[in-house]
Amino acid sequence: MLAPTALEVLAHIGRYSLLIGRAFRSVGEWRTYWSAFFLQAVRIGLDSLPIVILAAAFSGAVTTVQTAYQLVSGLVPRSVIGSIVTESVILELAPVISALVLAGRVGARIAAELGTMRVTEQIDALEVMGLNAVSFLVLPRVLAGLLMFPVLITAAAVVGIAGGLLAGIVSGELPPAEFLLGARSFFKPFDVVFMLIKAFTFGFLVTSISCYQGYYASGGAEGVGRATTQAAVVSCITVLLADYLLANLLL
Amino acid sequence: MGRENHSPQARIRVEKLVKSFDGQPVLAGVDLEIYQGETFCIIGRSGTGKSVLLKHLVGLLTPDRGTVWVDGEDIFRVPYGRLRQIRRKFGVLFQGAALFDSLTAEENVAFPLRMLGDRRLGEAEIQKRVRRCLAEVGLEDMGHKYPAELSGGMRKRVGLARAIALEPEFILYDEPTSGLDPETAQTINELIRKLARELGVTSIVVTHDMHSVLEIADRAGLLYEGRMHWVGTIEEMRRSQDPILLRFVKASEYQL
Ligand SMILES: Nc1ncnc2c1ncn2[C@@H]1O[C@H](COP(=O)(O)OP(=O)(O)OP(=O)(O)O)[C@@H](O)[C@H]1O
Ligand SMILES: [Mg+2]
């Protein structure tokens, strides 16, 4: 795949913004999409909970082991490891790793679903009935993302910290009491707020970008495949960019 | 709105419609008028843009130039909210049926009723209408099946049942009988005639099937090289000496 030119990227951003604008235009017609919203929320939540939890647990555990390895000098109290792990998990690992995993799972599924509806004229059928097909399809998915990403990422943070704690016990490097002491002494409530801001942002980006890719799919089964890959790739890149921007803006 | 310039009876008026895809011209200035209550057949070779023309009539595709008037309203100038209102006058049977594959046949037919029907429509009333629509197309026993479990012809009939669920004023059919056995095709042709006769529906039918044309059409038009090459009544068609029309009819192996 060739890298897109700057002009193409701009064209995509323009068309994407128009699509999202049109989706929110019929936000008042909740009757047409609220049941789809619940379905999507359950799917995003249940589909992805195991893999998100797994990724979080391991990243927390690895951070403990690695931090202990890096802080070999006896000058720093071992409880510092607990604070570093907790902060890393809340600020960066839980939101970003979960979002990347979700870009692959949720993003690809959304793009495949909408792309199939596009190439089999199901989207045309919705439009022709007099429905705002964009709202009908995009709104429930984006709203479900806004709701479920924070839930999943909060769960990931809890499990990630637990993973770190457990790794300390297993390796014998760090007793739980010291881990928790470190975790508590440097904890700032703003960290959690920052994590939730990231979660909302990533939830919006992954679901809306995947809807965009699926909605404008063309060219049969091959086109759906292309849209699915694009959804995962573009979501990942955007999540990483947004992660960097948010850190710059808010930290 | 320029309504007074138009023939008073024309309910749909296509005006110099031009559309190309990636520089490839498909429609090169189509003019067409459709009158209240008639059944109009659009014929033409595969790939001449019949489906593309049909999609312009409900604003699913936007023309490069020209426009479409429905009951005196330019559908490409009205705000989106109004376009949605205008679209509710239409039922469309797509070439590939376009059923929602996550819903059963019954749920497909019920979908427009639930989403857009009168809010006071109770579940019992919806079920009654769904059964009636499925019975019209001869599929009353297939309601619980998913589209993937139906044959191509059955899917098309479910698509038709869904198109008529909201009792539209216009029905657009994209090749309603292609891929059907002669007997089912005959049933569909009779249904198209019945809807036109009993409900006063105005129908536009895209078809390859000259037999259907003679069976159902009041008028027909041949789409050729991006234009309506020939338009006339069935009587006129029988007498026509137009070489391109004759060639198309001959190729369909059908004697007028
Ligand atoms: N969305 C699209 N993007 C690009 N090209 C298109 C699109 N839709 C149609 N075309 C092209 O327009 C031309 C006309 O297509 P159309 O589907 O209208 O043909 P048709 O007359 O309905 O043929 P058939 O009888 O086989 O259904 C074809 O060459 C097709 O490739
Ligand atoms: Mg066609």
Which segments of chain A does DSSP mark as H helices, in order? Answer: 6-25, 34-70, 79-88, 94-102, 108-119, 122-128, 133-171, 176-185, 189-215, 220-250
Q: Is the CB of B21 under 6 A from ligand 1?
A: yes
CB contact under 8 A, A122 and B166: no
CB A168 within 8 A of CB A83: no
Whether the pLDDT of residue B5 is over 60: the answer is no
CB of B52 closer than 6 angstroms to any ligand 1 atom:
yes
Mean pLDDT of chain A: 92
- Residue A107, pLDDT above cutoff 70: yes
Structure confidence at residue B129 (pLDDT): 92
For the CA of B44, the nearest ligand: 1
Q: B46: Cβ below 6 Å to ligand 1?
A: yes
> What is the position in ligand 1's atom list of the atom closest to the CA of B54?
18
Residue of B nearest to A128 (CA): B87
pTM of the model: 0.90
Relative to the CA of B52, which ligand 1 atom is closest?
18
Q: Does B88 touch chain A (CB under 8 A)?
A: yes
* d(CA A175, nearest CA chain B) in Å: 52
pLDDT in tens, A211-232: 999 999 999 999 999 999 999 9
What mean pLDDT comes out for the span B221-239?
93
Residue A80 has pLDDT above 80, yes or no: yes
**How far away is chain B from the Cα of A206, in angstroms, using its nearest Cα?**
23
Judged by a CB distance cut-off of 8 A, whether residue B60 touches chain A is yes
Pocket test for ligand 1, best of B41, B51, B156, B252 (most atoms within 8 A of CB): B51
Contacts of A176-182 spanning 24+ positions with Cβ under 8 A = A178/A77, A178/A78, A178/A79, A178/A81, A178/A82, A179/A64, A179/A79, A179/A81, A179/A82, A179/A85, A180/A82, A181/A79, A181/A82, A182/A77, A182/A78, A182/A79, A182/A80, A182/A81, A182/A82, A182/A83, A182/A84, A182/A86
Residue-wise pLDDT for A49-69, tens only, equals 999 999 999 999 999 999 988
**Percent of chain B residues past pLDDT 90, beyond the cut:** 70
Contact B112 A129 (CB under 8 A): yes
CA-based nearest distance A152→chain B, Å: 26
Asked if A128 is an interface residue toward chain B (Cβ–Cβ < 8 A), one would say yes
Out of A116, A121, A128, closest to residue B96 by CB:
A121
pLDDT of A5 above 60: yes
